[in-house]
Amino acid sequence: MRKIKIKRTSNPDYGYTNQEELYAETTQHQQDVCRVMYELAKILMKRGEIHDWTKKKYFPDFANDTLERLDTPDFKSREWYKTHTTLERHHINANVPDDVDLIDCLEMIVDCICAGKSRSGEVNPSFLILKEGALEKAYWNTVQKISYNVILED
């Protein structure tokens, strides 16, 4: 996420004396929020573009493990699966990155819904249950990431 500069308001705690000033600062606030949301949207779009990149990069291993998995009860212990769930941040139930964030959670939700609907016509709710504490960790990491990248311009 790139750094985004915002301006300090002239009247903290809504100490405005006229409507014009209040309107101007409300407009400025809307623009600041819009710029931050736009950056988050760009990150989401990029994540969609590279989703499941390890399946293509390691395709022979992915294909072998996937095609053999019906006969192999230990699919999740295979090397390809470990690589896939470690390198791709959205596999939160298999691996919670230290810096997990809400972008990771959103990618996981979209992944589970699209995979479930395309394969069986249904969403398996058990795939959407996060490890305990993962969502709270993702929330606070996202707060920290955004806060770090929003710079107050004096």
In a domain, 127, yes or no: yes
pLDDT of residue 71: 61
Q: What is the pLDDT along the chain (154 residues), one digit of tens a residue?
A: 899 999 888 777 667 778 888 898 889 999 999 999 999 999 999 999 999 999 999 999 888 888 876 566 677 788 888 899 999 999 998 889 999 999 999 999 999 999 999 999 999 888 888 889 999 999 999 999 999 999 998 7
Query: Phi, psi (5° rounding) for residue 43?
Result: -65, -45
Beta strands per DSSP E along 14-153: 150-153
In a domain, 106, yes or no: yes
Domain count, the chain: 1
Structural domain for 142, as ranges: 4-51+88-153
Query: Phi, psi (5° rounding) for residue 153?
Result: -95, 125
Closest CA to 148 of 29, 3, 39: 3
pTM confidence score: 0.87
In a domain, 39, yes or no: yes
In a domain, 81, yes or no: no
Q: Are 7 and 153 in contact (CB under 8 A)?
A: yes
In a domain, 64, yes or no: no
**Paired tokens of 111:** 């992944």
In a domain, 41, yes or no: yes
pLDDT of residue 112: 94
In a domain, 136, yes or no: yes
pLDDT of residue 65: 83
In a domain, 69, yes or no: no
